[in-house]
Amino acid sequence: MIAIVDYGVGNIANVERALKELGEAVIVTSDTELLDQAEALVLPGVGAYAPAMERLKETGLVDFLKEQAEKKPFLGICLGMQLLFESSDEDGLTEGLGILPGTIEKLPNDVRLPHMGWHQLTNHGEAVYFVHSYGAVCDPEWIVDAVEYGRLVPAIVQKGQVTGMQFHPEKSGEVGLKLLKEWRETTCNSTQQSI
């Protein structure tokens, strides 16, 4: 079973629909007991970084999610991916979950913001759907795929069992479903492989 973390911030219904389309058993919950029982966790997210972190703190899930990320496959989507990092400079400096090393920084001013629409992934070579104005800055070692948008912007990151997708796989049609399936098959079956 895959558990989607419900903390009041995110495009949960579409993520749930996409995973169910892949034949997965899915539960949407903020109950730590149910989250702990799940085989894998998905942290969705849309909106601004600071309010999202505040919501996670209000639900009491911050330390729990850090512990879970060491135990099982963990996927952050869009803002959910950004929250996995150490901090963001959106609206001042906000501390993140610190599960992944690196920071979230505003995309360059010489490109249109937000970065919204379909953009081709460098390695996979297929287009996925983005909506964001901030992106990860991290060690290239953790970058599985990226896009060029004013700078190299990590689109998929992975460190051990923890994966982040900056784009919206649930809004990216067949390509998004394929990438979710790859995540499910590789990280959930063999955490040493990279999608």
Which residues does the annotation mark as catalytic? 78, 168, 170
Give DSSP secondary structure letters for 14-58.
HHHHHHHHTT--EEEE--HHHHHHSSEEEE---S-HHHHHHHHHH
Distance (Å, rounded) from C-alpha 179 to C-alpha 163?
A: 11
Strand (E) or helix (H) holding 63 = helix 62-69
